[in-house]
Amino acid sequence: MRCAASTASSTPCRCFPAKLASGTYQSVTVIGVDDTSLFGRPELIDGKIEDIYAENGFIVVKDAEFPKLANPSLGTEFELNDHRGKIVGIARVASGGLFGVPTLYTTYKRAIQYIPSPRFTVSYILVEPKDETAIAHIKQQVGLLGYEALTKDEFIEKTSNFYKYQTGMGTTILLMTAISFIVGLSISGQTFYTFILENLDKFGALKAIGAKGYELVYMILFQASFTALTGFGLGIGLCTLVIATAKAKIPDYAAIVTFTNLALAFVMVLIIAAVSSYIGVRKVLKIEPFDIFRG
């Protein structure tokens, strides 16, 4: 398998409890980077990357989980599996962890010394093909070895599918969406039904002067559709504004609105409008003009 460049990602990523200076324990994720090339190292905002080679040197990532380590500074010491550790650098990364655990970087050699590690810890091997035409051949050769070769997009999709379908994240998002839909449906239906009740005499008057039932239905459908589409547009605009503001203020914030999301939201809005209209139509079609004037 000929490639322009290939790099073995021998970076163990293990979660282990660390003992802080206060005596409390805090789980941390330890990532070991290649001792020679330091491939995969984070971007430092304080300290020197060469200090990672110093005795017991660790680099801490300053993200949302950073305060859990009592906001360490350069020189802060801790214990990891009865080994002394020292913060020699503070870094930032493009995206923080997903599980609420602070992240530490050190050399690969020190990582396997500090943390008990099983054999065969290589998770994947990063390969850069000469050109895109070589990808199919690489996949074929890797498949013959009993492994799976993925492109960048395929790897991202597989990781995304894992979190969506094999962890609680997908269920949580689904429940939040379902609850939002039910709340929106109930509020919209109740609001529209109240509007019909408040204007019932007007619909009855229109019916008394000769308005047909289907004309009243068209009127209600127009009102519901106009309101739903206006709300949909305002909601998409507000969502886009919030995402743009968050990305400008938070460097590692990740969010995207796809056409699939828009289509799904539009269908949900149509369902809410249809149910709300149905509630109003039933009430309007049942009224009799003499009931209105008699009242």
Tens-place pLDDT, residues 28-51: 888 888 888 888 888 899 999 999
Query: What is the residue type of 58?
Result: F
67-116: pLDDT as tens digits:
889 899 999 999 988 889 999 999 988 776 667 789 999 998 888 888 87
Q: Give dist(CA 253, CA 120) in Å, integer.
A: 33
pLDDT band at 16 (very low <50, low <70, confident <90, very high): confident
Mean pLDDT throughout 173-195?
84
SS (H, E, C) 149-180: CCCHHHHHHHHHHHHHHCCHHHHHHHHHHHHH
pLDDT in tens, 226-252: 888 888 889 889 988 988 888 888 766
Query: pTM of this prediction?
Result: 0.54
Give the integer Cα–Cα distance in Å for 119 and 167.
26
Q: Cα 171 vs. chain centroid, distance in angstroms?
A: 13
Lookup result for tokens 């650098």 = 89
| Neighbour-count burial for 162-200, b at 16+ CB within 10 Å, e otherwise | eeeeeeeeeeeeeeeeeeeeeebbeebbeebeebbeeeb
How far is the C-alpha of 277 from the C-alpha of 207, rounded, in Å?
18
Q: Across residues 110-139, what is the average pLDDT?
A: 81
Q: What is the largest CA-CA distance in the chain?
A: 94
Predicted pLDDT at 250: 77
Distance CA 275, CA 49 (A): 61
Residue 121 has pLDDT above 70, yes or no: no
Q: How far is it, in rounded angstroms, from Cα 42 to Cα 60?
A: 9
Q: Tell me which of 275 and 44 has the higher pLDDT.
A: 44
Q: Mean per-residue pLDDT for 212-224? A: 84
Specify the higher pLDDT residue, 196 or 145: 145
The per-residue pLDDT for 112 is 83
Q: To which residue do tokens 């802080």 refer? A: 20
Candidate ranges 128-132, 250-254, 278-282; pick with highest mean pLDDT: 128-132
Question: What's the confidence (pLDDT) of residue 90?
Answer: 93
Q: Give me the mean pLDDT over the 244-273 stretch.
A: 83
- Mean pLDDT value across residues 9-32: 78
Neighbouring C-alpha atoms within 13 Å toward the C-beta of 202: 8
In 50-151, alpha helices (H): 108-114, 135-144
Quote the CA–CA distance of 265 and 234 in Å, as a whole number.
13
